[in-house]
Amino acid sequence: MMKLLKYELQRRRTLLPGAAIGMLFIEGAALYGIYRGGNWNTLAIAMTMLLAVGGLLLPMLDAVTKLYADYKQKQGYLLFLTPQGGYRILLAKTVFGALEIAASMLLICGCLALSAALLDRFQYGAATALLSSVGAQMGDALTTGMLFTFVGLAALQMIAQMCVALLAVTVSRAMVQSNRYNWLISLAMYFALAVGINMVNGVLLVAFGFVGDVMRLIRDESHALRMLGKYFAISAGTYAVWAAACTAVSGRLAGRSIDL
Amino acid sequence: MYNLVATRLTKRYAHIPAVDDATLALRPGKIYGLLGPNGSGKSTLMKLAAGLVHPSAGEVRVLGGPVCPAVRAQVAYMPTEPYFPGFMSVKQVGAFHADFFADFSTDAFKRLAERMELSMDMKVSQLSSGMEAKLKLAVAASRDAKLLMLDEPLNGVDLLARDVILSAIIERADENNTILISSHLIDVMERVLDEVIFLKRGRVVLQGEAEAVRARHGKSIVDLYREVYAS
Amino acid sequence: MEYDSRTPIYLQVADMLKLRMVRGELRPGGKLPSTRALALEYGVNPNTAARIYDEMEALGLCRTERGLGTFMTNDESVVRALRRQMAEKLARDFVREMTALGYTKEQMKQAIGEEL
pLDDT (tens digit, 9 = 90+) per residue, A188-224?
777 777 777 778 777 777 777 766 677 776 666 666 6
Per the model's pLDDT, the better-predicted residue between A206 and A4 turns out to be: A4
Give the residue-averaged pLDDT of A178-188: 71
Q: In what order do the strands lie in the sheet with B178-182?
A: B75-78, B147-151, B178-182, B30-35, B195-200, B203-209
Chain B residue with CA closest to C39: the answer is B170
Paired with B147 in beta bridges are B75, B178
- Please give the single-letter amino acid code of residue A123: Q
Domain-located, residue B136:
no
Confidence of residue A40 (pLDDT cuts 50, 70, 90): confident
Tell me if C80 is assigned to some domain: no
The answer to whether residue B127 is domain-embedded is no
| pLDDT tens by residue, B183-200 | 888 888 888 999 999 999
Q: What is the mean pLDDT of residues C60-77?
A: 87
What number is the average pLDDT over the span C68-88? 88
Determine which of A72-81, A125-134, B214-223 has the lowest per-residue pLDDT on average. A125-134
Q: Tell me which residue range forms the domain holding C101.
A: 85-115
Q: C70 with C89, same domain?
A: no
* Cross-strand bridge partners of residue B34: B182, B197
Nearest CA in chain A to B96: A7
Report the CATH number at residue B77.
Answer: 3.40.50.300
**pLDDT of residue A6 exceeding 90:** yes
Q: Give mean pLDDT, residues A135-155.
A: 71
Strands (E), chain B: 4-13, 16-26, 30-35, 57-62, 75-78, 147-151, 178-182, 195-200, 203-209
Region of poorest pLDDT, from B59-68, B214-223, C19-28: B214-223
Band (A142; pLDDT cuts 50, 70, 90): low
Is the residue at C102 inside a domain?
yes
Q: Are residues C41 and C15 in the same domain?
A: yes
C45–B220 C-beta distance less than 8 A? no
Mean pLDDT across A57-71 = 92
Task: Mention every residue, 6+ apart, whose C-beta is less than 8 A from residue B203.
Answer: B20, B21, B22, B41
Domains in chain B, number: 1
How confident is residue A185, by pLDDT bands cut at 50, 70 and 90?
A: confident
Instruction: Tell me phi and psi for residue B22, to 5 degrees.
Output: -90, 130
Locate the chain A residue with the closest alpha carbon to B70: A83
Predicted-complex ipTM score: 0.92
**pLDDT at residue A136 in the model:** 64
Rounded distance, CA B160 to CA C29, Å? 35
Q: Are A32 and A40 a contacting pair, CB within 8 Å? A: yes
Q: Is residue B129 part of a domain?
A: no
Mean pLDDT of chain A: 84
**Model pLDDT, residue B211:** 81
Q: Which of B162, B167, B170, B187 to mutate to test the interface with C (most CBs of C within 10 A)?
A: B170
Q: Are residues C15 and C52 in the same domain?
A: yes
Least confident of A57-61, A112-116, A149-153, A192-196: A192-196
Whether the Cβ atoms of residue B145 and residue B108 lie closer than 8 Å to each other: no
Closest CA to B62 of B175, B143, B177: B177
**How many Å lie between the alpha carbon of B47 and the closest alpha carbon of chain A?**
9
With CA atoms as reference, report the closest residue to B147 among B7, B8, B29, B11.
B29
Q: Is B142 a residue whose pLDDT tops 70?
A: yes
Answer whether residue A39 shows pLDDT above 90.
Answer: no
Is B13's CB within 8 Å of A177's CB?
Answer: yes
Residues C36 and C58 in one domain: yes
Residue A148: the pLDDT is 76
- For residues C19 and C54, membership in a common domain is answered with yes
CATH code of residue C50: 1.10.10.10
Q: Which phi and psi (to 5°) does residue B61 adopt?
A: -125, 130
Is the pLDDT assigned to residue A176 strictly greater than 90? no
A148 or C116, which is more confident? Answer: C116
Select the residue of B29, B191, B214 nearest C44 (Cβ to Cβ).
Answer: B191
Q: Among partner residues C9, C36, C40, which is closest to B191 by beta-carbon distance?
A: C9
**What is the β-pairing status of strands C69-72 and C62-65?**
antiparallel
* C-beta separation of B34 from B193 below 8 A: no
The single-letter DSSP state of residue B184 is S
Q: What is the pLDDT of residue A223?
A: 67
A229 vs A161, higher pLDDT: A161
Is the same domain home to C64 and C18?
Answer: yes
Q: Is A180 on the interface with B (CB under 8 A)?
A: no
Q: What is the mean pLDDT of residues B70-78?
A: 96
3-state SS assignment for residue A126: helix
Look at residue B99 and tell me if it is in a domain.
Answer: no
b/e per residue, A98-108, with b = 16+ CB within 10 A?
bebbeebbebb
Does residue C58 sit in the same domain as residue C38? yes
Which of B30, B194, B211 is facing C8, going by the closest CB pair?
B211
* Residue B112 maps to a domain: no
pLDDT, tens digit, 9 for 90 and up, residues A233-255: 888 888 999 999 999 999 999 99
pLDDT band at B213 (very low <50, low <70, confident <90, very high): confident
In a domain, C30, yes or no: yes
CA dist., res. B99 & res. A19, Å (int): 28
Cα separations (Å) of C23 from A14, A101, B222, C31? Answer: 65, 76, 34, 16
C59 with C93, same domain: the answer is no
Quote the minimal CA–CA distance from B126 to chain A in Å: 16
The answer as to whether C62 is a domain residue is: yes
Q: Are C57 and C97 in a shared domain?
A: no
- Segment among A140-144, A189-193, B77-81 with least mean pLDDT: A140-144
Would you place residue C1 in the very low, low, confident or very high pLDDT band (cuts 50, 70, 90)? low
Q: Which residues, including other chains, have CB under 8 Å from residue B202's CB and lie 6 or more apart? A: B10, B11, B17, B18, B19, B20, B22, B40, B41, B44
| Domain region containing B11 | 4-84+145-229
C91 and C66 in one domain? no
Question: Is C43 in Cβ contact with B166 (below 8 Å)?
Answer: yes
User: What is the structure's pLDDT at A178?
Assistant: 62
- Choose among B193, B192, B224: nearest CA to B36: B224
Is residue C57 domain-shared with residue C106, that is, in the same domain? no
Q: What percent of chain C has pLDDT over 70?
A: 98
DSSP state of B123: B
pLDDT at residue A124 is higher than 90: no
Q: Chains with ≥3 Cβ pairs under 8 A against C?
A: B
- Residue B218 inside a domain? The answer is yes
Looking at the 3D structure of chain C, how many domains does it have? 2
Query: Does residue B34 lie in a domain region?
Result: yes
Decide if B212 is inside a domain.
yes
Helix, strand or coil, per DSSP, at residue A77: helix
Does residue C3 belong to any structural domain of this protein?
no
Our CA-based measurement puts residue B171 at a distance from the nearest CA of chain C, in whole angstroms, of 7
A216: exposed, middle or buried (C-beta count within 10 Å: 0-12, 13-18, 19+)? middle
Q: Which of A113, A107, A126 is nearest to A41 (CA)?
A: A126
Q: Which of A129-143, A157-171, C36-50 has the lowest mean pLDDT?
A: A129-143
Provide the pLDDT for residue B222: 83
